[in-house]
Amino acid sequence: MDARSLTDLGFLQWASAARTIPGEMESGDIGVVEKVSDGALIAVIDGLGHGSEAAKAASVAEKKVRECAGESPAGIIEHCHQALKGTRGAVITVAHVNEQRGTVAWIGVGNVEGRIWTMVPGKSLVRQAPPLRGGVVGHHLPKLNTSTLPLVRGDLIVLSTDGIRNDFHDQFRLVGTVKQIANEVAKDYWTGTDDALVLVARYLGSS
């Protein structure tokens, strides 16, 4: 398991953890967090399939996401669509966290799952997911509709690829640091049949 270092942007803490399918040296799943002028851009990319070709597609998308991080989520996906032509393609979910407004605007193409977890004493409550559209970035791009939701201090944004069983949203209680949460989800809910990545970000409010 590859646990990325905890990163603290002041208003946002995040960490990710990844698993690579047995027999492969490279993962096709990549998480991205970039500081932008009004907040942060978060993306999780899953190159189709696994192995070197999936990793290549994911790397192309990662580079484009970082280049275009200051644009809208839909605009970023459109840029990725052009960059990924000729590759296997990828499924991608992109989220923009606005620090001052306390909002997240997000959208996904394919099956990178996303949830907002609102933390209240004694329990964790799941609140809404990004609008996911069928398609493959680089091959078939659907109509893109971005959803914007409010955030409150302590909210968790959780993005995961399909190598993570999505029933963890019903069973797991997200407690501890973002690094602990990412590690535990990747360990306990990995399917074992695909690359996997989970990215957890905690909104801490405007400075």
Tell me: the pLDDT tens digits for 91-106?
999 999 999 999 999 9
At 148-192, the pLDDT tens digits run 998 989 999 999 999 999 887 777 777 789 999 999 999 999 998
CA distance 139 to 125: 36
Mean pLDDT of the chain: 89
pLDDT of residue 125: 60
Number of domains in the chain: 1
User: Is the pLDDT confidence value at 202 over 80?
Assistant: yes
CA distance 81 to 85: 7
CB 117 within 8 A of CB 158: yes
User: Is the pLDDT confidence value at 139 over 90?
Assistant: yes
- Which range, of 40-44, 67-71, 89-93, 202-206, averages the lowest pLDDT? 202-206
CATH assignment at residue 171: 3.60.40.10
- pTM for the model stands at 0.91
Q: 81: how many CB neighbours lie within 10 A of its CB? A: 23
Domain range for 160 = 2-203
